[in-house]
Structure 1
Amino acid sequence: MTAVEFSPRVALASLSGEADAEWARAASEYAGLAFLGGIALDDRSREAARELVARDRNEFLPEDPVAFVDEQLTALADAPIRAGFNVRSATVDPVGEAARVCAAHDAILEVNAHCRQDELCAVGCGESLLRDTDRLCEYVATAAEVGATVSVKVRAEVPGVDLPATASRLDSAGASMLHVDAMDSEPVVRDVVDACDCVVVANNGVRDRETVHEYLGYGADAVSVGRPSDDPRVMARVCEATEAWFAAGD
């Protein structure tokens, strides 16, 4: 792993309305990177987030989302974990604004091309952004041009999306990391690794030695944990398995 360093090579995946600085600090014993968020940045994505809240989903809806990114990253300034922020936007300009804040904190800006909720997809966020490679590459280039280290959260099994080909284009656009939700197609991680020079973080069902070593065996540089990230038992197993894998490789 070269472009983006963190240790241990375990990341905490963003959880809407839950993944804040306090959450990241609590799991910092077991992870080297935490993606806060996701946070809706522009009017259309924020309206979609409000609709999600209306049907009982958790969402961050601060009055000023870019200021919220700054506040949360500031709160992690002395924490023993690298930070990233997962962002959603139907328009590109707010992505650049959030990227400037992330760059100032040496944090990673993660473009969300992953969420599949209907409300978000309807306004051009999440999975619908993954289907629009030109626009997704514009988001990545905009964030990279202001000095941010850029990750893109993507998912497998999206009809019509050639994920390795998309990975190659995102690499060329300026992405340093791809955060891959493999769904039930774990070998796609190997295809993404082969298609680009980005750091690849594998996600989905990471719980124990078996799942960690499966993803790392496909060539992933790191793994990430989502829902169980607040369970110390799961995190300890994942951290131990990850460190053992790379220690054996050394």
Structure 2
Amino acid sequence: MFALASLSGASDAAWARAGASEADLAVLGGIALDADSRAAACDLVARGREEFLPADPFAFVDDQLAALADAPIRPGMNVRSATVEPIREAAAICTEHDAVLEINAHCRQDELRAVGCGETLLRDTDRLARYVAAADAAGATVSVKVRAEVEGVDLPATARRIAAAGADAIHVDAMDAEPVVASVAAAAPDCFLLANNGVRDRKTAWEYLAYGADGVSVGRPSDDPDVRRRVARAVKGWKRRRAADDPSPRLGAEVSG
């Protein structure tokens, strides 16, 4: 699978449509859902970062996903929250649109970490597991976006906890520690594994796929059609190569749709 990864303040329905001819999944957002995460997002905007700050974040999620109802790409929505109930509400909306709900345990900005969002969740696996379980109970296909090389975090152990809580997918930003993908794949074999960071062409895509990723995602250059075409060709080439060796796919229908 080839996915387009969320970019704060940029990944909307129009962005997803632009990549629909190459990618299988487009994760919109991130979107701050509750008061604390929205206050943190406002602070980020004040220092020059782009963020989605609609008056009603849940209406935004609903409207953006509805705008992709006829698009040839499955949508997802990356969300941030300091509390669990907004996750449940956003997951219910995603369920209505057959969209992936992606819990953000990835962002490392001080403002977001201070309110318990982003990578802070990697150090609070009990709360992260509650988020996953709430989204799963709402019927959503659940992904968790995580980051490698966070001090004090055993990412494979976190992956096992996420999987046990009901996650369908784990989206790993490898942070230049590519072999971690193999460790996460081994720790959570029933989760679809997306790998991210520096994916630009066949060489970079195939490296992650060889480590056991089920798919790759492109972040910052996701609006570059040349990069999208190269990565799409690489993923298709890998599928052909694997099909010749093993005609039974590993996993992934839940996420790719």
The two structures have a TM-score, normalised by structure 1, of: 0.96
| 1:54 matched to 2:46 | yes
Q: For residue 226 of structure 1, what is the amino acid of its counterpart? A: G
Inter-partner Cα distance in structure 1 for 2:59 and 2:87:
13
Which residue of 1 is the match for residue 23 of structure 2?
A: 31
Which residue identity lines up with residue 40 of structure 2 in the other structure?
A
Secondary structure of the residue aligned to 1:36 is strand
- The answer for the alignment partner of 2:103 in structure 1 is 111
Give how far 1:131 is off: 1.0
Amino acid at match of 1:109: L
Runs of 4+ in 1 over 4 A off after TM superposition: none
Say whether residues 1:144 and 2:132 are aligned partners: no
- Mapped to 1, the partners of 2:102 and 2:58 lie a distance apart of 14
Per the TM alignment, residue 184 of structure 1 is displaced from its structure 2 partner at its CA by 1.2
Match of 1:245 in 2: 238
Residue number among 195, 198, 205 corresponding to 2:191 in the alignment? 198
Match of 2:172 among 177, 180, 191: 180
Matched, 1:71 2:59: no
* Counterpart among 173, 188, 207 of residue 200 in structure 2: 207
Correspondence for 1:84: 76
Instruction: Look up the SS of the partner of 1:37 in the other structure.
Output: strand
Give the corresponding residue for 2:249. none
Alpha-carbon distance in 2 for matches of 1:184, 1:15: 19
Residues in 1 aligned to 2:172 and 2:229: alpha-carbon distance in whole angstroms: 22
Cα separation, 2, equivalents of 1:79 and 1:29: 9
Q: Secondary structure at the match of 1:116?
A: coil
Residue 36 of structure 2 corresponds to: 44
Per-residue CA distance 1:109-141 (angstroms, 9 max, x = gap): 000000000000000000111110000000000
Give the corresponding residue for 1:217.
210
Instruction: State the distance in 2 between where 1:165 and 1:246 align.
Output: 29
Using the alignment, how far apart are the partners of 1:249 and 1:100 within structure 2?
Answer: 35
2:118 matched to which residue of 1? 126
1:165 equivalent in structure 2: 157
Cα separation, 1, equivalents of 2:40 and 2:225: 33
Counterpart secondary structure, 1:219 = coil
How many correspondences in the alignment?
242
Shift of 1:221: 0.2
Partner residue of 1:226 out of 213, 216, 219? 219
Q: Which residue identity does 2:183 align to in structure 1?
A: D
* DSSP 3-state at the match of 1:31: coil
Q: Give TM-score, length-normalised by structure 2.
A: 0.94
* Identical columns (%): 69
Residue 248 of structure 1 deviates from its aligned partner by 1.1
What SS class does the counterpart of residue 145 from structure 2 fall into? strand
- For 2:10, the equivalent position in structure 1 comes to 18
Deviation at 1:242, TM superposition (A): 0.7
Give structure 1 stretches of 5+ with no counterpart.
Answer: 1-8
- Distance in 2 of aligned mates of 1:184 and 1:231: 22
Distance 2:46 2:161 in 1: 36
